[in-house]
Amino acid sequence: MEEKILDILEELCGDEVVREDLDIDLLEEGLLDSLDYSELLVDIKSELNVVISPSEVTREEMNTPRKIIDKVKSKLQ
Amino acid sequence: MNIIENIKTQAIENGKQVVFKSRMGQLSYLQLWNKSEQVAQWIKDNVTGKNEINPIVIYGHKNPLMLASFFGSTKAGRTYCPVDRCMPIERIEDIIETVENDYVLMTENLVERICKEDPQREADVEKINEYTYRMSNVNFIDVNALLVAAFEDVDDSLVELVNEESYLGKDDVYYIIFTSGSTGKPKGVQITRSSLENYLDWSTEVGDSIGAKHGKHFLNQAPYSFDLSVMDTYTSLVSGGTLISVDKELQQDTAALVKYIKENEVNYWVSTPSFAAMCLSEPSYCQEELDSLKFFMFCGETLSKETSEKLMERFPKAKIINTYGPTESTVAVTSIEVTRELLADEKSIPIGYEKHGTEILILADSTEGQEVTIAKHDEIGELVILGNTLSIGYYKNEVKTAEAFKTIIYKGREVPAYFTGDAGFKNKDGMIFFLGRIDRQVKLHGYRIELGDIESNLTKIKEITQAAVIPKKVDGVIKQLVAFIVSDKLNEDYDSRKYVRNQLQEMIPKYMVPKKIVVLDKMPLTNNGKIDYKRMETLV
């Protein structure tokens, strides 16, 4: 699961740093813009069958690879 | 201009002068004249019947006999079609099939190459005599073996075997060069003798006069199947110069290449910009080593400011000339000298002004049967070429010919025009700027983006020497842009990539900044020495 999310993130951000630094701030670093963010939610749904609606979390709560992984994990439990 | 006359004069007056030299051998002007007479004689006697009207494929690499074969077919009144060994076999056979001539001249053994790749074909090969191999009903003629077997080597007096009446006429097709073509089958561009001679009237006067070029040395980098080679080869030939031709293997060893060019005292550097940019990574590529280098002549792709500036630093005594032209209008039709003032004044390097006899229109719009609409200055449109060096169309391809070669109404008159598919504009002084292929304009998230625009901004970042931007597609839809960059200062790490993205964001809108930045050691180049976009598409 973690690997899949990192694949999605690397694809969307275009940079493998998302694997190397799980705590990198994707928003601050300009790696994930709003368009990418909505795509991220769509990809998580289609690849992992986990639905995260844009209203339930703010972008700030999903601003690092680790936080995104944790969020998906919590949804799966 | 009369190509044949010029070469003949040179053969008589300066017969001993070397006309062509490569690591595969050399020829003098007299030898070129004599051997081409022999080739012409043989063609006239043997390539007969239906083969008389069909072009002759000439295969090889940087062999001196390539020139003798080209010139031999011209004297025999035949069109030639140069095919370099860097082409894949499938494509070579495709061309041989398209031209429908039962004879192929070769300066290296194509039959052996085909059999090596496909041993089953060997059963189909029949050796007819010392120099003829027959395969699939095509006769492959080993030119060297032919000259040895059928003629005497004469190098002290002028040989005259064929009558001038056999020579190719002004309106006849002089050569056919197959363009790579981004999609589908390659197209054979037909260039007449008069187009070539009109081009040479101009090219011999670019940079300096034809008289100044006499006896000078020209670099030949491009393979003969790429029409950039016409720029160095024919300009040198009709000016009485010497061609210093560098083979593929030598081109891959920059240090050895520089040494070879130094030993042979090259004065005119003719290549693609990418090839010179690649050479810049070699420290010995500089004026101290290459003292005789006086001119750089570029064509075939965009010349970046970065490359020009570096060349100016390395070669303070040399002049840089940028030219532009599609194969369909005979090599090049515009030029400009790139000076420091020009670099300071302009955002990108212009392609300059049209040569005498050519007019380039920046077309805003055109409707059949109506006067065309020309773009205002600084307004972008398609470059459309009129003038005395236009191709007569693609060989046996009426559909593609009709798409690109049209009659337009301009200033109330019907004129033939070639639609280049290139985008550009003219400034208020009529100076022309090239912006890239119209089809390199892409749509990403609804924005119209010019990939060439991003590339030219990338090379403005001082650490970056070369850049290529490739769209990444998923199911045919562009999802993302990927930038490939070459830099001797940046590493393949996050800080470098972030630096490039940040720098770029200062210059262009955020939506144009490529998501993915890939740092390469070396830009992949095609066999012609241009940036290999197709190969990079497979990497994204």
- Looking at residue B85, its pLDDT comes to 94
Q: How far is B446 from chain A (nearest CA, A)?
A: 12
Give backbone dihedrals phi and psi of B174, rounded to 5 degrees, phi first. -80, -50
Whole-model pTM above 0.90?
no
CB of B501 within 8 Å of a chain A CB? The answer is: yes
Strand partners, B293: none
Q: Which residues of A have a CB under 8 Å from any CB of B?
A: 12-15, 17, 20-21, 29-30, 33, 35
Nearest to B336 by CA among B327, B345, B177: B345
The set of residues, in sequence order, having a beta carbon less than 8 Å from that of B359 and lying 6+ positions away, is B385, B386, B387
Q: Do B494 and A35 touch (CB under 8 A)?
A: no
Residuewise pLDDT in 10s, chain B (540 residues): 999 999 999 999 999 999 999 999 999 999 999 999 999 999 999 999 989 999 999 999 999 999 999 999 999 999 999 999 988 898 999 999 999 999 999 999 999 999 999 999 999 999 999 999 999 999 999 999 999 999 999 889 999 999 999 999 999 999 999 986 555 678 999 999 999 999 999 999 999 999 999 999 999 999 999 999 999 999 999 999 999 999 999 999 999 999 999 999 999 999 999 999 999 989 999 999 999 999 999 999 999 998 999 999 999 999 999 999 999 999 999 999 999 999 999 888 999 999 999 999 999 988 888 899 999 999 999 999 999 999 999 999 999 999 999 999 999 999 999 999 999 999 999 999 998 888 788 888 878 888 988 998 999 898 999 999 999 988 888 889 999 999 988 988 999 999 999 999 999 988 899 999 999 999 999 888 899 998 888 888
- Give chain B positions within 8 Å (CB) of A33: 510
- Measured over the CA atoms of residue B351, residue B332, residue B339 and residue B487, the dihedral's sign is positive
Q: How far apart are CA B196 and CA B389, in angstroms?
A: 7
- Give chain A positions within 8 Å (CB) of B515: 12-15
- Looking at residue A76, its pLDDT comes to 84
Other CB atoms closer than 10 Å to residue B495's CB: what's the count? 10
Q: How far apart are CA B305 and CA B456, in angstroms?
A: 8
Q: How far is B516 from chain A (nearest CA, A)?
A: 4
Q: How far apart are CA B264 and CA B250, in angstroms?
A: 14
Give the chain B residue nearest A18 (alpha carbons).
B494
Nearest to B224 by CA among B207, B192, B205, B248: B248
Q: How far is A21 from chain B (nearest CA, A)?
A: 10
| Structure token pair of residue A49 | 């069958």
Q: How far apart are CA B441 and CA A23, in angstroms?
A: 37
Nearest to A15 among B445, B497, B510 (CB): B497
Classified as helix, coil or strand, B465 is: coil
Amino acid at B441: Q
Q: How far apart are the first and last CA of chain B?
A: 48
Q: Do B494 and A14 touch (CB under 8 A)?
A: no
Q: Which fold has domain B349-435?
A: Luciferase; domain 3 (2.30.38)
Interface confidence, given as ipTM, is: 0.88
CB-CB contact of B83 with B225 (8 Å): yes
Nearest to B58 by CA among B133, B110, B131: B110
- Give chain A positions within 8 Å (CB) of B514: 14
User: Which domains, ranges and CATH numbers included, belong to chain A?
Assistant: 1-76 (1.10.1200.10)
| Structure token pair of residue B95 | 């061309």
The set of residues, in sequence order, having a beta carbon less than 8 Å from that of B340 and lying 6+ positions away, is B312
- Give chain A positions within 8 Å (CB) of B494: 15, 17, 20-21
- Looking at residue B184, its pLDDT comes to 62
Across the A:B interface, residue pairs with CB atoms under 8 Å apart total 23
Q: CATH for B445-537, among 3.30.300.30, 3.40.50.2300, 2.40.30.110, 3.40.50.20?
A: 3.30.300.30
Classified as helix, coil or strand, B530 is: coil
| Structure token pair of residue A11 | 């694809």
Amino acid at A73: K
- Give chain B positions within 8 Å (CB) of A35: 445
Q: Would you kindly state where each structural domain of chain B is located, as residue ranges?
A: 3-252, 349-435, 445-537
Q: Please report where in the chains the tokens 């209203």 appear, as a residue.
A: A55
Q: How far apart are CA B377 and CA B425, in angstroms?
A: 7
Give the chain B residue nearest A13 (alpha carbons).
B515
Q: Do A15 and B494 touch (CB under 8 A)?
A: yes
Q: How far is B502 from chain A (nearest CA, A)?
A: 9
Pairing of strands B413-426, B381-387: antiparallel
Give backbone dihedrals phi and psi of B275, rounded to 5 degrees, phi first. -65, -40
Q: How far apart are CA B468 and CA B450, in angstroms?
A: 12
Q: CATH for B3-252, among 3.30.9.30, 3.90.1150.10, 3.40.50.12780, 3.40.50.970?
A: 3.40.50.12780
Burial-class residue B71 by CB neighbours within 10 Å (0-12, 13-18, 19+).
Answer: buried
- Looking at residue B265, its pLDDT comes to 98
Classified as helix, coil or strand, B511 is: helix
CB of B498 within 8 Å of a chain A CB? The answer is: yes
Q: Do B482 and A14 touch (CB under 8 A)?
A: yes
